[in-house]
Homo-oligomer: A and B are copies of this chain.
Amino acid sequence: MIPSTTLKLMTRPLYVASRSFVSGEPARPTIKTEIPGPQSAILLKDLDSIQAMKSVQFFVDYDKSLGNYIVDADGNTMLDVFTSISSIPLGYNHPNMLKAFDSDHAKKVLINRPALGVYPGNDWVDQLRNVLLSCAPPGLDQVITMMCGSCSNENAFKLMYFKYMDKVRGGIPPNDEAMKSCLDNLSPGTPRLSVLSFHGGFHGRTPGALACTHSKSIHKIDVPLYDWPVADFPRYKYPLEENTQENTAEDKRCLDKVEEILERQTKNSNPCVGIIVEPIQAEGGDHHGSANFFQGLQDICKKHDIVYLVDEVQTGGGPTGKMWAHEYFNLRDAPDIVTFSKKMLTGGLYHKPDLRPNNAYQIFNTWVGDPSKLILLDSVLKTIRQDKLLETTLKAGDVLLSGLRRLENQFPSLLHSARGIGTFCAVDADTSARRDQILAKLRTEGVHCGGCGETAIRIRPALIFETKHANIFIESLEKVLKTF
């Protein structure tokens, strides 16, 4: 199972002093206290007097954190393979990002934040083209910035509604009755339309995005939501190569279900205007779908003339070794919309020209994004190209995945279903409790990792994560597994 290149890497001494992409990065973790340590505990208590944020795990000294290493408020230096839920593209304090606001112009972009939908700066078009379009998914040439992943999806849904209703009306603008009734949330101006999403999917937390999110009850409980339908996302048996027949049947079952739901929704006068799907269901447990499944979804969308929206908020920006994870699916046409955020540092959506809204102010808000984030993203993209970080990510991912496969063979009662593309890797523990124990013990070893779904260990390092870091991770995990 393990490629020979990986075996060679694994037998090398691990902590040789070797160059990192961020110079001065620690050679390995150093743990001084339990985590959260006493200083984090004090700050957490203090925070609790101001806001209820029980999700806080520890406080961070971002001034001291460097490269792949996060330093907490108690001085513990951890290898960070979770990177603020996959949102730190170049690790901490990358010199290129530190320089991004050195110029007077960049500083002025930062402090003169405009309403981009009415008064953009005179370099805004260049920024959109040179930064965001320079890394656009193949086949997509329209882009709109937004503030975060949730509102990117919400605005993508609006594009779907507009296109659908335009078709329903045969291109005729809405009449007076529609324009008046919508002011009171009444039909015909406020139509009944739905978006199809998948069990286990995560698309954000504002109401439309949350109606499409089905990863964990705690995100949804007690929140009124649209009565939108949910389809099954494939659940494969691993290793994939030993379960081809079953997994192909699973794809077919899920695709048939999608067709069935689309027809039912139309019959029930709550038609689906589009399908939203993650290339890898990240928050819901790192569930992968095959190229075959994603091609099938696109075929279904084309057949029903509805919008195919690929949510790349977590997968986009490089962690799979390509800028966009859906590039692995060999789709015969680009998705209609691709949404992004996290590692892209700005939210936003790429889309096809046929989804352009007919009128001003239909896709709009005060800020419509933040131009200062494009200055940061520019330095990120230049660094990715200059340092060939997508190749680095593929190499490190190879070490991660082969390491996980070795460990699941070595500890079959503890780990299973190792999977991943690039460094976007995961492996399942036998139980939810075990997963949490593994994560806690990894932290005492100086490795900060995360979980997702019921039992998955979620690995989301930065793009400067190299094979040497992957080796530290695998070695630490092995050490932890041996304690059970």
Residues of A whose CB lies within 8 Å of any CB of B are: 39, 43, 46-47, 50-63, 65, 70, 73, 84-85, 87-88, 92-94, 97-98, 100-101, 104-105, 107-122, 124-125, 128-129, 133, 141-144, 147-151, 154, 158, 161-162, 165, 174, 178-180, 182-186, 189-194, 199, 204-208, 211, 214, 216-228, 230, 341-342, 345, 356-357, 359-368, 376
The residues of B that contact A52 with a CB separation of less than 8 Å are: 142, 356-357, 363
Can you name 21 A-B residue pairings with CB atoms under 8 Å?
A43-B120, A47-B124, A47-B125, A51-B143, A55-B360, A55-B364, A56-B118, A59-B119, A59-B122, A87-B366, A93-B112, A98-B108, A154-B205, A165-B222, A178-B221, A182-B217, A183-B217, A185-B230, A189-B221, A190-B220, A221-B362
A118 contact from B51, B55, B191, B361, Cβ within 8 A: B55
- Ranked 4 nearest A-B pairs via Cβ: A54-B360, A52-B356, A84-B115, A207-B207
CB distance from A338 to the nearest CB of B (A): 14
A57 contact from B93, B119, B225, B228, Cβ within 8 A: B119
CB distance from A372 to the nearest CB of B (A): 8
Contacts A111-B376, A184-B214 known; 20 new A-B pairs at CB < 8 A:
A51-B143, A51-B144, A52-B356, A57-B118, A58-B119, A62-B108, A87-B115, A88-B113, A97-B111, A101-B101, A147-B147, A150-B206, A151-B151, A151-B206, A154-B206, A161-B223, A183-B199, A190-B224, A191-B224, A219-B364
CB distance from A325 to the nearest CB of B (A): 18
The residues of B that contact A61 with a CB separation of less than 8 Å are: 121-122
Contact of B367 with A183 in the complex, beta carbons under 8 Å: no
Contact of B105 with A63 in the complex, beta carbons under 8 Å: yes
Closest residue of B by beta carbon distance from A45: B125
